[in-house]
Amino acid sequence: MVIVPVAIANNKARNGREVYLSNKKPVDLYNFDSDYLVRLQARDAEIQAHFAGYFSRLLTIRLRVLGISGSALDDIRQETLFRVLREVRAGNVKSPDRFGPYVYAVCNHVVSEWKRAQWPNWNGSDEMPDVLDPSALPEEPVRLEEIRKTVHWVLDRVPRKDRRILIAVFIDERDKEEICQEFNVSREYLRVLLHRALLNARKKLGKGPDQLEKGIL
């Protein structure tokens, strides 16, 4: 598998290549090795950008799953990235093959501190700004616009009732049980509805049904 660090991908985007949600995956599976950690420890700009881009997206999704949003999400994500980077620079991260789970474990610690109301337990330093904020990447507005168009396309095509359910889930972020009662649907139906919406989005982005049937979403 060819791994394209974020910094290199940026250069391609600057040279006029459009950025798409599906074809240019910002979070492609990365096999972390000791060289990656050595370069991260040495403050290699490309690797730092890749680290920030890769884990920012994953942590954002994960924190939303945990019910955290807004500025708390931003703070916890940045604090997690910072602590991991600090430990890497101190040479305390020894198992590159377990780097992903390690980042999630640090995230768990930060979330626990936040929940125990010990927040802010900020231990930041002047080094913080060199963890690049992925939302600052030049292609980000293009990517977001592409997502917006795809979502619009999907929501325009689902039946009205399904659209209202999806809107209730996405916007109000209300208790799912309450939504199911209101619309008289089961939790399974809600899951299937999301699954179908994602499947439609995939179709829109050109993934064939063969891949979809094989479970390659």
Partner 1 sequence: MSIQLMNHEEAVNGLATERYLLGEMQEEERSAFEQHYLDCAHCLEAVTFAGEFMDGAKPVAREMQPAETSDRARGRERRIFLSGLLAAVRSPAPAFALVLLLFLGGLSTYQATLIHNQKEMLAQAMAPAQEFRFAITGQSRSGERAISLRRGARLSLVVEFMPEQELTTYRADILSASNLLKYSVPLTVNSSDDSVAVSVPAGVLEPGNYSVVIRGQSPGGNQKDLATSTFELRFID
Please give the residue ranges that form the binding site for partner 1 (CB under 8 A). Answer: 1, 14, 21-22, 25-29, 57-58, 60-62, 64-67, 100-101, 104, 128-129, 132-133, 135-138, 140-141, 144, 147-148, 150-152, 154-155, 163-164, 166-167, 169-171, 176, 187, 190-192, 194-195, 197-198, 201-202, 215-217
- Only one residue has tokens 């208790």, namely 175
Least distance in angstroms from the C-beta of 114 to partner 1: 16
Kindly state the smallest distance separating residue 42's Cβ from partner 1, in Å: 14
| Residue number, 115 or 195, with CB nearest to partner 1 | 195
Q: Which is nearer to partner 1, 86 or 163 (CB)?
A: 163
List of residues 6+ apart from 203 with CB closer than 8 A: 209, 212
Nearer to partner 1, 88 or 132 (CB): 132
Q: Which is nearer to partner 1, 92 or 195 (CB)?
A: 195
| Min separation Cβ 102 and partner 1, Å | 10
Q: Taking the CA atoms of the chain, what radius of gyration do you get in angstroms?
A: 20
201 three-state secondary structure: helix
DSSP state of 97: G
Check if the beta carbon of residue 146 is closer than 8 Å to that of residue 21: yes
CA-based nearest residue to 120, from 76, 82, 67: 76
Could you count the other beta carbons within 10 Å of the beta carbon of residue 22?
13
Contact in structure between 158 and 33 (CB atoms under 8 Å): no
CA distance 49 to 43: 10
**CB of residue 208 vs partner 1: minimum separation in angstroms?**
15
Min separation Cβ 188 and partner 1, Å: 9
Our CB check for partner 1 shows the closer of 121 and 174 to be 174
Tokens matching residue 118: 């010990």
Q: Which one, of 7, 44, 40, 45, lies nearest residue 26 by Cα?
A: 7
CB of 116 to partner 1, least distance (A): 17
Q: Between 35 and 147, whose beta carbon lies closer to partner 1?
A: 147
